[in-house]
Structure 1
Amino acid sequence: MRAQLSFAAADRLHRSAEFLRLQRNGVRFQSPHFVVYASRLEHEPERSRLGVTVSRRIGNSVLRNRVKRRVREIFRKGLRASLPVGTSLVVIARGGAGALESATIDDELMMAARNLKGRIGGRGD
């Protein structure tokens, strides 16, 4: 039995092909510090998944990993529940994301989820 707020390995996008497919076929939303791609995948209809990309331009490894941890935590605690079941996300951090507080990251990602929710509702990529 899986806890409601867990974030297991099955909840992550692992292969670069999965990231690229979402970026090619998914809907896109840009915020000041993030680019978010979302799509519903037919082979994983009951599980929402997340992939996070943070390039070296954001900062050193400590800063990059902090941004990734914060995005995963926001996804786990609230973002996943605000999207249709089976939605996969790719979050790409842009310049300045490393300096943000968790609350600001949460606001930007929740704004992205609200925007994307209506656009991916009937779409089955």
Structure 2
Amino acid sequence: MTKTLKPPEDPVDGNLASAADIPPAVLSRLHMLTQRADFQRATRAPHAAKPGFVLQMRKRRADEPVAPDVIRTGFTCSKKVGNAVARNRAKRRLREIARLALPQLGLPGHDYVLIGRKGATADLPFAQLQADFTAALSVLHGKSR
């Protein structure tokens, strides 16, 4: 005996999303770095090395064409990290720790670049990566003030 499935009912008021589905407005401040020149400028900026990654932070100049309240992030892994699958896994983990922490802890008007490390970024426990990221941010923010 097969059971027939009924499609879900449409909401009466026409609203499909609940209030809990709306992301906080602060997330709209995060943007991705895509230009090579931005990554190169971040290379010359202060950095903090942790077991799972290196975090670079750069304060943008006032004459750059980016809104001053925007936080930009970039992610990179060299071929030393592994093949494409390993590099993508490492970058996914770096993106997630940045997504969780930067809206609250990042400084507007700054660029952050996370660099994956061989044998560590993809293998360390996620909680340790998060704790290291918070510690690296506090070190860099202390240097910038």
TM-score category (smaller protein): 0.7 to 0.9
Structure 1 unaligned spans of 5+:
none
Counterpart in 1 of 2:51?
32
Q: State the superposition RMSD in angstroms.
A: 2.1
- The runs of 5 or more residues in structure 2 that have no matched partner are 1-22
How many residues are aligned here? Answer: 118
Quote the residue 1:82 is aligned against: 105
Match of 1:105 among 116, 129, 132: 129
Residue of structure 2 in register with 1:64 after alignment: 87
- Deviation readout 1:53-83 (Å, 9 max, x if unpaired): 1112212222211221121121112134212
User: Percent identity, aligned pairs only?
Assistant: 31
Higher gyration radius (CA): 2
What stretches of structure 1 move > 3 A for 4+ residues in a row?
Answer: 2-8
* Separation of aligned partners in 1, 2:82 and 2:57: 25
- The residue identity in structure 1 corresponding to 2:117 is R
Deviations 1:72-103 (A, max 9, x none): 12111213421221221111112222212221
- Higher RCO (Cα < 8 Å, 6 or more apart): 1
Q: Pick from 26, 35, 38: which aligns with 1:15?
A: 35
Shift of 1:15: 0.8
**Letter matched to residue 101 of structure 1:** P
One-letter amino acid of the counterpart of residue 31, structure 1: K
CA distance in 1, matches of 2:28, 2:33: 12
Contact 2:94 2:116 in 1 (8 A): no
Structure with greater helix percent? 1
TM-score by length of 1: 0.81
